[in-house]
Amino acid sequence: MSAPRIEHGFCTEDNARALLVVARDPADLVDLAAIYLDFVLEARTPSGGFRNRRNAAGAWTDDIGSDDSQGRAWWGLGVAARMGPTPTIRNAARGAFATCAAFDSPHLRANAYAALGAAALLEADHTHPAATELLRRTSAVIAGACRHRIPWPETRLTYDNARLPEALLAAGVALDDDQLVALGLRLLEWLVRAETRLGHFSFAASVGWEPGEARPGFDQQPLEAWAMADACHRAWVITGEEAWKARATRAARWLLGDNDTGMTLYDTATGATSDGLMEHSINQNRGAESTLAGIAALQIAERCRSQARRRAIS
């Protein structure tokens, strides 16, 4: 299904994802960035958190969103503060971080999202005290879990898996902590090996995967391709090793048929992405999460190409 189902309302986490996708786009999508930023800022609560669910009439239907939605809100705001298309957008996103101390979660992915936002902001404002403290706290939660369980901090892979090593890499650079970078690279190396099959990515299914279980599993979701592309691109920028660039582009190619079935999830005619790779078919629903993941992963592939050209010229 390609038509939006407005009757289901809107959510902060999808608007935060959309905010960071358009902020990263070189086309300067000012109007879209402003719309998504306004939604995220309007979701703020007096305590410094974010509501997540808004109905079609514009009324909020929850008092506070999930931990993941909190982390994604900070992630979107951090990227907008770093890369937003206008000073007004960048300043508004940066100003929101005055309340980021309210974020507190035991969940690894929520911490990863918030860490990625804080690290992005620190690229623009190296001395921002609240973002620095947020990054220290969130990266410590992930690093602590990683050091207590090897090779992966959970018993099984679940969702958005590459965000954990990516957050460690981002934090290590922003905090000048080589140990965090090394831990992030080790984690990402293991994940790449675990999710590679016959030369292509075979992501953990939506029900998860742990060592010893049969592969491939279905349904595999575009969110994993985006996360892996982002993480491998970041590893390439940090290390300069060409293998990471190749893995980033290979993750994006998963959307175009370089996967377990050879089926394409990204629709070049509409820009939409199907919700999942099934064993014998494609999930024909095209939700906001999947479509944004598809666009973002292909953004990374294009960034790899353009950065490689610049490096070759220099």
Distance CA 216, CA 283 (A): 17
Angle between helix axes 67-83 and 87-96 (nearest 10 degrees) is 140
Q: What radius of gyration do the chain's Cα atoms show?
A: 18
Long-range contacts formed by 272-277: CB under 8 A, 24+ apart? 272/2, 273/222, 274/222, 275/219, 275/221, 275/222, 276/206, 276/218, 276/219, 276/220, 276/221, 276/222, 277/218, 277/219, 277/220, 277/221
Q: Would you state the pLDDT for residue 30?
A: 96
Distance CA 193, CA 200 (A): 10
Is the dihedral angle over the CA atoms 94, 98, 101, 107 positive or is it negative? negative
Q: Which residues of the chain form CATH 1.50.10.20?
A: 149-314
Reported pTM: 0.96
Q: Would you state the pLDDT for residue 234?
A: 98
Select 149-314's CATH number: 1.20.210.10, 1.50.10.20, 1.10.1270.20, 3.40.50.300.
1.50.10.20
Please report, for residues 105, 115, 134, 300, 304, the alpha-carbon distance to residue 78 in angstroms, rounded to integers and kept in the order given: 18, 9, 12, 18, 22
Q: Would you state the pLDDT for residue 8?
A: 75
Q: What is the pLDDT along the chain (314 residues), one digit of tens a residue?
A: 556 677 778 999 999 999 999 999 988 899 999 999 999 999 999 999 999 999 999 999 999 999 999 999 999 999 999 999 999 999 999 999 999 999 999 999 999 999 999 999 999 999 999 999 999 999 999 999 998 899 999 999 999 999 999 999 999 999 999 999 999 999 999 999 999 999 999 999 999 999 999 999 999 999 999 999 999 999 999 999 999 999 999 999 999 999 999 999 999 999 999 999 999 999 999 999 999 999 999 999 999 999 888 888 87
Please report, for residues 74, 145, 290, the alpha-carbon distance to residue 17 in angstroms, rounded to integers and kept in the order given: 10, 26, 11
In one-letter notation, the amino acid at residue 8 is: H
**Cβ 71 vs Cβ 103: under 8 Å:** yes
Give residue for tokens 């990374």.
300
**Nearest Cα residue to 12 out of 93, 56, 67, 70:** 70
Q: Would you state the pLDDT for residue 4?
A: 66
Q: Where are the alpha helices (DSSP H) in the chain?
A: 12-24, 30-42, 67-83, 87-96, 108-124, 129-148, 163-174, 178-194, 222-239, 242-253, 288-313
Which residues does 37 contact at the CB level (< 8 Å), separation at least 6?
19, 77, 80, 84, 89, 92, 93
Question: Dihedral angle at the C-alpha atoms of 161, 105, 35, 88, nearest 10 degrees?
Answer: -110
Neighbours of 239 (CB within 10 A): 13
